[in-house]
Amino acid sequence: MSTGTAIVAVSARQVYSDRGHPGVEATVTTTGGARGVAICTAGISVGSHEIEFAYDGGKKWRGKGVMRAVNAVNEVIAPALVGMDAARQQAVDQAMLNIGKLKVGGNATAAVSAAALKAGAAALDIPLYQHIGGVNACTLPVPGVICLVGSDRYGSGARSGGKPSYAFMCYGFETFSEASYAGWDISVEWSDVLNKRLGVPKHSVTHAPGVPRGYVKDDREIWDLMVDTINKLGYEGKIGIQVDVASETYWEEDQGRYIGLFSETPKTQDDLFKLYHLMVKEYPFVNLEDPFDEDDYESHAILTRELDIQIVGDDLFTTDPVRVQKGIDAGAANCVLLKVNQIGTISEALDMIQLAYRNGYGVMPCSSRGEGEDIADYCVGINAGTVRESATGPTGNRFLQIEAELGKRAKFLGPKGFKGRRFQK
């Protein structure tokens, strides 16, 4: 064990997360005084196959209080980890897995796992991305800027958590900093476009508005505005469109149709296939996430074969190696959305990443579960080609800091950061 890396304390508390609801904040401290602090929180849209979180139930916090998980950290996990080496991530995570994620809650293990990772890096006095990926950690991903959220524009999608959501992805640049500026530039312009063309109140660069019901009749109107904005600023062929569909949340079993997805017109599965082909043919879509139901591997596989862009599985895979292997066997999607807090520990997430890479899949990190700006270090540590949003704001700042630290070693893959035949030519 390295001097100063032994864990002397593990603690947790309930905090407000960036989602506005309670989250678990864990702190891991080592003998040398190094500390790692991390938060785990639920997302807005949660797949049914994600690891189960420990919630308090009852009326307080609308049943989503996390004191059960906090107490599990303080009373069960902490005694098991004190004395272990924070620099040995797999051993730390295995100790928690031996206790059982279902016993203490995935939100408890995920928060502690991430805190231990950060404590280990701090104790070794190396950047988090280097602790994750070693000397090979030098790639900065293609980032995006969120530009539209909301699910009520056609009077449906109450289960969707605000999806479909759209983002501009900035790929046609030489460096991350150039891509970051383009993201800021187009986000400012987009706010003016929505205000002038649709009457939507102006928004900040890091927060996207929803389009209320009655403002548009079809999402094609939104796509047209996005293309106009891209072209007006001279970013044609440099900025593309990303959409997180969360399609299963629009499926109405009694009608056998998707209701309120992309327009008021009900859609069959075949209708969606045709629409996705149109989107990619007529608009600069570069990334489709969860285009079909979370258990529909076959449709994802067909779409991946037929389209030449990046197809991402989030609810399809839930950062779970078992589900990713099933997708690999079926040929479903070509990229996995990484949310460590879907699976419960850093080590399990890293196992999934290696599985994906060995089979030619990309990995697209996302910070929606409390990771915050740490997602930048995760991205560089695993040499991810793309990332959800993150061009600006605190995470963008962290990426720019890492880029400066790496200097000439920093790599930005641009279009080749994507999976899909279009980008690999």
Q: Tell me, what's the pLDDT at 49?
A: 72
Angle formed by the axes of helices 297-306 and 269-282, to 10°?
Answer: 30
Cβ-based neighbours of 419, under 8 Å, separated by 6 or more: 310, 311, 334, 335, 360, 361, 362, 385
Q: Tell me, what's the pLDDT at 19?
A: 73
Is pLDDT at 2 greater than 70 in this prediction?
Answer: no
**Residue in 44, 52, 41 with CA at minimum distance from that of residue 15:** 41
**Residue in 285, 314, 311 with CA at minimum distance from that of residue 299:** 311
Q: Tell me, what's the pLDDT at 154?
A: 83
CA distance 77 to 106: 12
pTM, full prediction: 0.95
Is pLDDT at 95 greater than 80 in this prediction?
Answer: yes
- Quote the mean pLDDT of the chain: 93
Half-sphere exposure of 141 (CA within 13 A, CB side): 31
| Alpha-carbon Rg for the chain in angstroms | 21
Is pLDDT at 161 greater than 80 in this prediction?
Answer: no
Query: Domains (ranges, CATH) in the chain?
Result: 7-125 (3.30.390.10), 133-423 (3.20.20.120)
Cβ-based neighbours of 381, under 8 Å, separated by 6 or more: 128, 129, 130, 131, 132, 133, 137
Is pLDDT at 320 greater than 80 in this prediction?
Answer: yes
CA distance 182 to 186: 6
> Which letter, b or e, does each residue of 318-353 get, where b requires 16 or more Cβ atoms within 10 Å of its Cβ?
bbbbebbeebbeeebbbbbbbbbbbbbbbbbbbbbb
**For 366-407, what is each residue's pLDDT tens digit?**
987 778 899 999 999 999 999 999 999 999 999 999 999 999
Higher pLDDT, 247 or 142: 142
**Residue in 318, 119, 352, 161 with CA at minimum distance from that of residue 249:** 161
CA distance 359 to 321: 12
Q: Tell me, what's the pLDDT at 113?
A: 97
Is pLDDT at 360 greater than 90 in this prediction?
Answer: yes
Is pLDDT at 203 greater than 90 in this prediction?
Answer: no
Q: Tell me, what's the pLDDT at 249?
A: 86
Is pLDDT at 85 greater than 60 in this prediction?
Answer: yes
Is pLDDT at 268 greater than 80 in this prediction?
Answer: yes
Instruction: At 295, list the tokens.
Output: 């258990």
Q: Tell me, what's the pLDDT at 174?
A: 98
DSSP 10: E
Q: Tell me, what's the pLDDT at 149?
A: 86
List residues bridging with 251 in a β-sheet. Answer: 258
Is pLDDT at 280 greater than 70 in this prediction?
Answer: yes
Percentage with pLDDT > 90 across the chain: 78
Q: Tell me, what's the pLDDT at 21?
A: 83
Is pLDDT at 11 greater than 90 in this prediction?
Answer: yes
